[in-house]
Structure 1
Amino acid sequence: MADVAVHAGVAIGTVSNTLNNPEKVSERTRRRVLASIAELGFVRNDAARSLAAGTSTAVGLVVADLGNSFFVDIARGAEAVMRRHGMNVLIVNSDVDPVSEVRNLQLFEQARVAGIILAPLDTQLVRSQRLPAKTTPTVLVNYESPSHAYDGVVVNERHGGALAARHLLDRGRRRLLFAGGPMFLGAVKNRYEGAKEVVDATPDASIELIETRGVNIRHGRQIADQIRAQGAGRYDGVVAAADLLAIGLIQTLSDVPGFRVPEDIAVTGYDNNHFASESAIPISTVSQPGEEMGSAAAELLLDRIANPDSTRRTVILEPHLIPRRSTLGDIWKRDPASS
């Protein structure tokens, strides 16, 4: 700013007013200062301004996995709300790595962002009240703090699991399998319990559990190999805990006699990832309202920043089922509502 002031022949305060309070500067002077700024390539240091003013116009968003379009939707929802309030969103990806998650939280704490939205990994850290961002207002999304130490936004996962199981039962499937894990993940556990509750209430239906070490495509292929090893007919429906699991399973089973999808075995996924509707056999899925979750988390964070001593609360949103070919077969026709 001193260099700009010398170049324009004005006081440093005039440069500051040109940037922050232009109504205090004459049009002629403002143009001279802006011309000097352009010629010198001056870039305002917003980080320094935030430290000086004690405020920031940026919030941090830490997501577990940007490779999962569900978290991309959360980011879109949060950014839309923050933009309307004149705030910027800085996004970092933990890449399903607890060490990276801690480092990202520390990074935002050191950067003095106004607040943090955390879509966390289900680890002991997030279950505690000792997140690395100790002084920065923080809201959890896709996770409810067991100690209620943080505001949060979650989906009713039990209801989601129940929706998937009920859909298969309504299609006449009675020998169901729940595939997913690890079961210490709260979301997976709740989805299984919701599915099991519905099946247990149906006299002629049963459900078994095969726990996986993850919810990626390779884990789905491993489940498919186990299903094949047990022989055709043992299961006629699968509730997969994630779309990636369902994709891996379908890729392995779809052309195997006795295991065709959905003729012999119908499959549901979970999350409504963008590629679920684009796979060779479009996947019936339980859709989570990602953008709505991001929007709600942003609103909670803005309220927490404005009212730091207010009572913590958790917003619970409802999922919905999107049926596609993996359960409906040939009666399914692609249309905007199905994708």
Structure 2
Amino acid sequence: MAEATRVRVLAAIEELGFVRNEAARTLRKGSGRTLGVIVEDLAGPCAADLVRGVERACDTGGYDIIWCTSDGDPEKERRRLDFLEQQGVSGVIVAPVALDADRVARLRARDIRTVLLDRRMSGTTASSVGVDHRQGGRLATRHLVELGRHDIAFVTTEPEPPPVRQRRGGALQSLGQAGYAPEQVLTIAEQEPTAQAGQRAARRLLEFGTLPTGVFCVDDLLAVGLVNELTRNGVKIPQDVAVVGYGDIAPAATCVVPLTTVRQPRDELGAAAAELLMDEAEGRHLTLAPELVVRDSAS
């Protein structure tokens, strides 16, 4: 191909947003029964249950799955979506990073439906499946109040993704109903939801001199790190400080002090997302209920 012709072709491809359909190109049999899934991290402690739910539903429905990760990177998310378009998937499940309405419309124009995890996107055909995180936050702090814990701290991440903001909003609502003013709630923000960040949060609490009697962590890994570090420093859990986490990941039950937490129905979340795609549903929004699991850290 002449260079001038190649340049014109590439310009046309860019203008039209063309993506080569590898499935059609290779005439692969059964390509219309494949779903794509993009999550931030398949190796994370929350991913295993989600994976089981999606795979169980797809096995029942006779669909195959292409798994992708974005690592929370908008550019990686864009490339993964390009790849899934090329594979000719019939639908995508996305834990969105930078996905916007234009990209959802582009997917739909190629007959690819979208289901979002823990997000809603108005003005699009995208369906969504999420957890009632506001209710989860209310459950956590209500439990601390019912235990008689009057000095409560909140350990979060900065910046807060929408589900975490919802947890904090529900927690503050519950505390407000119990007569707490927002300024009475000590807030500690860490950069990431890890056990190491939880340890740092615990050390920051210890620096205040007077410890809160109750702590709500927006993520179980934060709570696990916090409980372990406080325990190493001679703080008795829950006698001195009651701690509630969020997520009910596997390490929660095996923490040095088994963790009271708010369980997310991740298995059901994954199954529901896959079923919406297989049913070719559009614009449907399902909200699943969290559940308080009481263990030794706040009992």
Shorter-chain TM-score range: 0.7 to 0.9
CA contact under 8 A between 1:127 and 1:147: conserved in structure 2? no
Corresponding letter in the other structure for 2:99: V
Separation (CA, whole Å) in 2 of partners of 1:302 and 1:150 = 14
CA contact under 8 A between 1:129 and 1:149: conserved in structure 2? no
Separation (CA, whole Å) in 2 of partners of 1:181 and 1:327 = 22
Q: Number of paired residues?
A: 273
CA contact under 8 A between 1:243 and 1:285: conserved in structure 2? yes
Separation (CA, whole Å) in 1 of partners of 2:121 and 2:220 = 25
Q: 1:50: Cα distance to partner?
A: 7.3
Tell me the secondary structure at the aligned position of residue 130 of structure 1. Answer: helix
C-alpha spacing 1:212/1:265, structure 2 compared with 1 (3 Å): same
Q: 1:48: Cα distance to partner?
A: 5.9
Separation (CA, whole Å) in 2 of partners of 1:191 and 1:156 = 9
Matches within 5 A, 1:73-222: 73-121=49-97, 125-131=98-104, 134=107, 135=110, 136-203=112-179, 206-222=184-200
Q: Does 1:224 align with 2:202?
A: yes
CA RMSD after TM alignment: 2.3
CA contact under 8 A between 1:268 and 1:326: conserved in structure 2? yes
Matches within 5 A, 1:317-328: 317-328=288-299
Separation (CA, whole Å) in 1 of partners of 2:100 and 2:151 = 35
When normalised by structure 2's length, the TM-score is 0.84
Separation (CA, whole Å) in 2 of partners of 1:65 and 1:236 = 34
Structure 2 residues without counterparts, runs of 5 or longer:
1-21
Separation (CA, whole Å) in 1 of partners of 2:124 and 2:241 = 41
Q: Does 1:62 align with 2:62?
A: no
Deviations 1:279-306 (A, max 9, x none): 21111110010111111111111122xx
Q: In structure 2, what is the equivalent of residue 254 of structure 1?
A: 231
Corresponding letter in the other structure for 1:126: L
Q: 1:270: Cα distance to partner?
A: 0.6
Larger Rg computed on CA atoms? 1
Deviations 1:62-101 (A, max 9, x none): 1112232322211211111111121111212223333322
CA contact under 8 A between 2:105 and 2:124: conserved in structure 1? no
Separation (CA, whole Å) in 1 of partners of 2:65 and 2:86 = 16
Separation (CA, whole Å) in 1 of partners of 2:154 and 2:192 = 14
Q: In structure 2, what is the equivalent of residue 265 of structure 1?
A: 241
Q: Does 1:295 align with 2:271?
A: yes
Q: In structure 1, what is the equivalent of residue 13 of structure 2?
A: none
Q: In structure 1, what is the equivalent of residue 18 of structure 2?
A: none
CA contact under 8 A between 1:162 and 1:195: conserved in structure 2? yes
Corresponding letter in the other structure for 1:318: A
Tell me the secondary structure at the aligned position of residue 172 of structure 2. Answer: helix
Identical counterparts, % of pairs: 33
Separation (CA, whole Å) in 1 of partners of 2:154 and 2:100 = 26
Q: In structure 2, what is the equivalent of residue 39 of structure 1?
A: none
C-alpha spacing 1:55/1:88, structure 2 compared with 1 (3 Å): closer
C-alpha spacing 1:324/1:54, structure 2 compared with 1 (3 Å): closer
Tell me the secondary structure at the aligned position of residue 67 of structure 2. Answer: strand
Separation (CA, whole Å) in 2 of partners of 1:93 and 1:133 = 20
CA contact under 8 A between 1:75 and 1:294: conserved in structure 2? yes
Q: In structure 1, what is the equivalent of residue 222 of structure 2?
A: 245
Separation (CA, whole Å) in 1 of partners of 2:218 and 2:231 = 19
Q: 1:127: Cα distance to partner?
A: 4.8
Q: 1:216: Cα distance to partner?
A: 1.2
| Residue in structure 2 matching 1:313, options 247, 272, 284 | 284
C-alpha spacing 1:216/1:128, structure 2 compared with 1 (3 Å): farther
Moved over 6 A (4+): none
C-alpha spacing 1:55/1:90, structure 2 compared with 1 (3 Å): closer
Structure 1 residues without counterparts, runs of 5 or longer:
1-45, 329-339
Separation (CA, whole Å) in 1 of partners of 2:290 and 2:137 = 10
